[in-house]
Amino acid sequence: MSKESILEIIVRHVSEVIPALASHPFQPSDSLKALGANSIDRADIIMMTLESLALDIPLIEMAKAQSIGELAGIIHAKS
């Protein structure tokens, strides 16, 4: 799966966890924290993404991502 498709899945789950962002113009540089996701929201978003992709990767691997674009990159590299 392409990095762009992974980013789309991340964005879908961000909107699911934070419905107020449904019409937000997401950019790869957006950070989950700045979007208003707290640490529990972030963990759930990442897990929902891994679940959608059926990827069994330890969450710790995703910890260094500073933006949703970087997160998509890390997941892409592991998939």
Partner 1 sequence: MPSPSRHDIAISGVGVTSAIGQGKAEFLSALLEARHRFRTMRRPGRQQPVPVSTARAQPPQQAPGFLGAEIESLSMPSSIAPGLLRNASFSAQVAVATLHEAWVDAALHEVEPTRIGLVVGGSNVQQRELIQAHDAYRGREQFLRPSYGMSFMDSDLCGLCTHAFGIRGLAYTVGGASASGQVAMVEAIHAVQSGRVDVCIAIGALMDLSHWECRGLRSLGAMGSDRFAHDPASACRPFDRDRDGFIFGESCGAVVIEKLQTAHRTGRKPYARVSGWAMGVDANRNPNPSVEGEVAVIKAALECADLTAEDIDYVNPHGTGSAIGDLTELASLIQCGLGRARINATKSIVGHGLSAAGAVETIAVVLQMQAGRLHPTRNLDDAIDDSFNWVGSKAVAHTMNNALNLSMGFGGVNTAVCLQTLS
Where does this chain touch partner 1 (CB under 8 A) — which range of 1-9, 11-19, 24-32, 62-70? Answer: 11-19
Q: How many C-beta atoms lie closer than 10 Å to residue 67's C-beta?
A: 17
Residue 25 lies near partner 1 (rule: CB under 8 A): no
Residue 48 lies near partner 1 (rule: CB under 8 A): yes
What binding mask, one character per residue, do residues 60-79 give for partner 1 by CB under 8 A, x or -?
--------------------
Q: Which is nearer to partner 1, 48 or 74 (CB)?
A: 48
In whole angstroms, what is the distance from residue 43 CA to residue 48 CA? 9
Residues in binding contact with partner 1, number by CB under 8 A? 15
Q: Which helix (H) or strand (E) holds 3?
A: helix 3-17
Q: Cα–chain-centroid distance for residue 15? A: 10
Q: Which two tokens stand for residue 21?
A: 């962002």
